[in-house]
């Protein structure tokens, strides 16, 4: 069986945000697999909660032989290594680093610990903009729409601007 393509979203709004994302990306490269695509950095408003601090976001595509649950375990360990407090399930908050698994090939996984595709993709401009930069024609396996179409349909009015 060949390698799977995994789409990961990085986010940070505490401290040296770019450094946190760079460090997370290095850990992913060393522990999960080869990075085959990456978006620009995006400066974005907090989504789902109020914060005075803007987020930096970036998406990478990794090729790996690991399954989705192994990747989840590794990304959570990376978050802890970089100083992230345990994730809470009841509310969003500022964070040193956040790593979300957006897609794992075109699989649909609905488990207690993991939902893929990420259930909020279509509602988040800060996710869709960098995705559209690197994978505009990728078809969301559940919604059956391209990333470009999801971005065009997105109602999120939070600011999100490409930095580089």
Active site residue 95: yes
Q: What is the DSSP string of the chain?
A: --PEEEEEEEEE-SSSHHHHHHHHHHHHHHHT-EEEEEPPPEEE--SSS--SSPEEEEEEEEEESS-HHHHHHHHHHHHHHTTPPPPPSS-----S-EEEEEEETT--EE-SS-EES-TTGGG-HHHHHHHHHH-TTPBPTTT--BHHHHHHH----S-EEE--
Catalytic one of 90, 100, 125, 137: 100
Active site residue 100: yes
Catalytic one of 50, 98, 106, 137: 98
Catalytic one of 16, 50, 90, 95: 95
Active site residue 105: no
Active site residue 144: no
How far apart CA 40 and CA 129 sit, in angstroms, is 10
Q: Report, as residue numbers or ranges, the catalytic residues.
A: 84, 95, 98, 100
């Amino acid at each position: 069986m060949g390698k799977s393509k995994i789409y990961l979203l990085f986010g940070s709004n505490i401290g040296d945000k770019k450094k946190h994302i760079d460090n997370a990306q290095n850990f992913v490269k060393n522990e999960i697999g080869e990075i085959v695509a990456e978006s620009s950095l995006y400066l974005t408003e907090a989504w789902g909660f109020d914060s005075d601090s803007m987020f930096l976001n970036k998406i990478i595509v990794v090729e790996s032989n690991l399954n989705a649950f192994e990747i989840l375990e590794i990304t959570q360990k990376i978050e802890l290594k970089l100083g992230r407090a345990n994730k809470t399930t009841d509310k969003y908050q500022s964070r040193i680093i956040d790593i979300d698994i957006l897609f794992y090939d075109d699989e649909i996984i609905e488990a207690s610990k993991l939902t893929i595709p990420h259930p909020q993709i279509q509602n988040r401009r800060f996710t869709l903009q960098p995705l559209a930069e690197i994978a505009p024609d990728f078809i969301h396996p559940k919604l059956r729409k391209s990333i470009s179409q999801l971005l065009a349909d997105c109602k999120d009015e939070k600011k999100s601007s490409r930095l580089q």
